[in-house]
Structure 1
Amino acid sequence: MDKRVIIHVDMDAFFASVEQVDNPKLKGKPVIVGGDGPRGVVSTCSYEARKYGVHSAMPMFIAKQLCPKGIYLPVRHNRYSEVSKKVFEILHSITDLVEAVSIDEAYLDITNLNENPIQIVNIIKKRIKGRLGLTLSAGISYNKFLAKIASDWNKPNGLKVITEDMVPEILKPLPISKVHGIGERSIERLNEIGIYTIEQLLKLTEDQMIYYFGKYGIEIYNRIRGIDNRLVSTEREMKSIGRETTFPSDTSDKEILKEVLTDFAEELTNSLLEESIYAKTITVKIKTQDFKTHTRSKTLKDYTNSFKEVKQTAFEILDNYNIDKGIRLIGLSLSNFTNVRYQQLSIFDWVVNIKGKEEV
C-alpha cells in the first residue's frame, strides 16, 4: 500500500494574531491574551511576547513580571470561533478529509489528491493570509504523529516535510515532551531515570514502555519508530472540555478556590452555549502541595449548559474535599455531552404527566 500523505496545520499564536489583525496598531508588539485578575493565566501570546519568556498556561502575574510593557487583552471566544470557522472553510475547500483537533489546529489527508503536498500547503497559506491576514505552520509526513512533529519544527509560518528515510534519526534529539501521549507525570518519572530525549526513549523495551505508560506504551513505542496507523477522522467527538490553573503559592482558602471555579464555570458554559451542546458530568481536579492529584465527579440528573448549575455543582464537589494540605492546582471539566436537551423523568414525573394528559 502506498504511504499516506498527511498535513498538520497549526495557526500561529492564533488568539494574539487575531487581535493584531483586528487592531493593526498591535502588529510587531508583545500581545498577551488571557484571563484577568491575579490568578489569570496566559491563553496565547504573540511571538514578540515569547522573546521575553512568556508562554501559554503561564500565570498572568509572572507574564507581567517578564514583560511589563506587554499589551494584555481579555479572551474573546466568539471572535476566535468566527475566524476559526473561516479557516476551516478554506481547509475544506482543499479536501473533505479534515480532522479538527482544536479551534486552530487540524489534520488533512491529501493522499488521493495526487498533487504536490508542498504546493497544496502553499495554496492553503496563501488563501488564509490573503483572506484573513493570518499565518500558519504546517507539517507534511506519512502519518499524523510525524506531521504534527513537523508542523512545530520552524514556527512561525513554517513548513517541514518528514519522510520515511529520515526516521528515527530526525526524532532522536527531540525532548520526550514532543511525543503525543506522554504526560507531565510520565515525563517526571522518565527524567528521574535519566531519560530526556527520544534517542534515550528508543532504548526502552516494549515491556518497559508499558510499565511507564500503561496501555499506551505500545503506541508510543511504535510512534517514535515512525509507525502510526491512526486515520484522519472527519467526525471528531468532543469527549470533554476543561480549564485548570496553577497558583503562584499553595492555598487552602476555599473562597479563592471557589472564585477560580466560578471563572472556569462561566468560560466553559459559554463554550457549551456557543456550540449548542449540554453536559451531564462535572469534574473538579486538585493537585496538592505534595504533587498528588485528586479528581471527583458528579453526574447530574439532567443535561445542562447553565452557568449557575455548573458552578453550584463544582462548589458541592469542592466542599466534599477534606482539604488538609495546600493546593497548588485546581481544574474544572465538563463531559458526557449531548446536543439535544432533554430531562430524565422519574417514575413520579411520568405518572404526573400521564394523569395530566388524561385530564385534558
Structure 2
Amino acid sequence: MMETFLEFPLKLETNRKILHVDMDAFYAQIEIRDNPALANQQVIIARDPRRNGGKGVVATANYNARAKGVHSAMSAAEALDLAPKAVFITPNFTKYREASHQVHDIFHEFTDKIEPVAFDEAYLDLSDRTENLVALAHRMQQKIYDELHLTSSVGISFNKFLAKLASEHNKPVGLTVIRPEDIRPFLDAEPIESIRGVGAKTAERMRELGVQTGADLYQMSQDELISEFNRQGFELYERIRGIDNRPVMYERQRKSIGKEHTFNPLIRSEDETLAEIKILAKEVTEALSRQKMHGQTLVLKLRDENFNTVTHRMTQNDFIDNDPVVLNRIANDLLEEAGGFRQPLRLIGLTMTNLTPLAFENIALSLYES
C-alpha cells in the first residue's frame, strides 16, 4: 500500500518589501576600477596557475571571462584552458573587505535592517518605507556607482528567495521586480538549478524524475517531494510556489550613525574641507538626536581622487556631547592627525560609533562630595 502524507497548509505572505543587492563580479570589478587598463581584458581573480604548478581556485571573474565559461569555484587551471589570454590577479581580501564596508555604509543610509550574505551581497528589509521601491533601488545603485565606481544588481520582491532570484535575473547593472502575479511566469521558466536548495546532486535526481524547469517542479505533489527529498522536499514545494517566510536577520542595535558627502567636482583646498566637516558635524549631531543615541568614538573618513580611503578615530572614556561644535572640533583634530589636506578629496565622512541610548548618561561623582 502506498504511503501518503497529510498536506501541510501553505500561506503566501506578501506584505514585506525585500531587496537583494548583489555587486557585479565584485572582486574583479574592484581590480578593474583600480587599474583601468584591465577594462577590456578577461580578468580572473585567482592565483596564476602558470606560476604555482596549476594550483588555485577561481574566486570570481569579470563578464568578459565568464563569456568564455569561467566561473567561481572552478580550478584556476581549468579557467586558464578556457581563457588562455586572461589576466590572473591574486585575491586581495583586505581591499575587498574595505570596499564591502563602504557599500554597507551606503546601505545604512537607506535602512538599518541589513542581513549581509557575503562581501558582495546583502538582503535589505524596507517594509517600513512608503516610497516607490524601484526609484529607491535606482538611487541606491547610482549612489554606489557615484561614490565607489562600482555597479550592482538589485532584486525586489516580498521575500528573500524571490528577491535573490530577481537580482540574478538581469546582471550586470540589473533591476528586477517580482510581484505576486509574476510568480508563475517567472518561476516556471527557471531551470531547476536556479531554485534555492537544488544543488548538483538534487538537480541530477530531479532530471532522472523528468524535472527540468520550475514548471516541471510545480507539477510534483507535496507527497512526492517529501517522499523523494524528505524535509528539503517540503521546502522545494514552498519555494516553487514563491513562499519563503524567513525574515531578514539584522542587528537590532545600531552600531554607528554617520554621514558622508561625495564631491564632484572634487574638494581641492583645506578651507573647503573644513567647511564640509562643519556641515557633517551638524548633520551627525541631528541624526544622533533623532535616534536618541550618543557615542564614545568619532571617526573621520577621507577618500582621495584615486579612491584611497583613510580613517582616523578618537575615543573618549565618557560619551561625546551631541553638540556640533564639539564634533567639529574633534573632527578638525582628526584631520590634523591625518596630515591635514594633502590632495583632492572625493569623499568626506563623519561617523559616531560605540553607541548607547541617551538614557545612559555620563555621571561624574566627586570623591570629596559629601
Instruction: Name the TM-score, length of structure 1 as normaliser.
Output: 0.63
> Which residues in structure 2 correspond to 1:51-90 (within 5 Å)?
51-90=67-106
Matches within 5 A, 1:52-131: 52-131=68-147
8 Å CA contact 2:167–2:175 kept in 1: the answer is: yes
| Structure 1 residues 1-360: aligned runs within 5 Å | 3-36=15-48, 37=52, 38-235=54-251
Counterpart of 2:44, as a letter, is I
Please give the per-residue CA displacement for 1:164-207, whole angstroms capped at 9, x wherever unaligned: 01112221111111111122111111112221111111111112
Give the 3-state SS of the residue equivalent to 1:99 in structure 2: strand
**SS of residue paired to 1:121:** helix
Distance 2:119 2:229 in 1: 28
1:60 to partner: Cα distance: 1.1
Structure 1 letter corresponding to 2:61: C
Match of 1:127, SS state, is: helix
Would the aligned equivalents of 1:35 and 1:43 in 2 still touch at CA under 8 Å?
no
Between the aligned residues of both structures, percent identity stands at 44
TM-score where L is the length of structure 2:
0.62
Given residue 9 of structure 1, which amino acid in structure 2 is its aligned partner?
Answer: V
SS in structure 2 at match of 1:152: helix
C-alpha separation in 1, matches of 2:201 and 2:55: 24
Aligned positions, number: 236
RMSD of the alignment, in Å?
1.5
Alignment check: 8 A CA contact 2:14 2:180 kept: no
Shift of 1:28: 2.4
Contact 1:186 1:212 in 2 (8 A): no
How many angstroms does 1:2 deviate by? Answer: 6.4
Match for 1:190: what amino acid?
A: M
CA–CA distance in structure 2, aligned partners of residues 34 and 211 of structure 1: 42
Unaligned runs of at least 5 residues, structure 2: 1-12, 253-370
Tell me, in whole angstroms, the C-alpha distance in 1 between the residues paired with 2:195 and 2:149. Answer: 31
Asked if structure 1 preserves the Cα contact closer than 8 Å seen for 2:113 and 2:251, the reply is: no
Amino acid paired to 1:131: E
Output the amino acid matched with 1:31. Answer: V
Report if aligned partners of 1:39, 1:59 keep a CA contact under 8 Å in 2.
yes
Counterpart of 2:309?
A: none
Deviations 1:125-170 (A, max 9, x none): 1111011110000011111111111101110000001110111222
| 8 Å Cα contact 1:146/1:162 also seen in 2 | yes
In the alignment, structure 1 segments of 5+ residues that lack a partner are 237-360
Q: 1:2 to 1:222 in 2, by over 3 A?
A: closer
How far did residue 18 of structure 1 move?
0.6
The SS at the match of 1:111 is coil
Q: Deviations over 1:223-258 (max 9, x none)?
A: 11111111111049xxxxxxxxxxxxxxxxxxxxxx
Instruction: Give the Cα separation in 2 of the matches to 1:140 and 1:209.
Output: 28
Letter in 1 for 2:125: D
Aligned to 1:309: none
Distance 1:71 1:39 in 2: 16
In 2, Cα distance between the equivalents of 1:128 and 1:210? 43
Supply the distance in 2 between the matched residues of 1:214 and 1:78 (Cα, whole angstroms).
41
Q: Which 4+ runs in 1 deviate beyond 6 A?
A: none
Alpha-carbon spacing, 1:27–1:182, altered in 2? closer, same or farther (3 Å): same
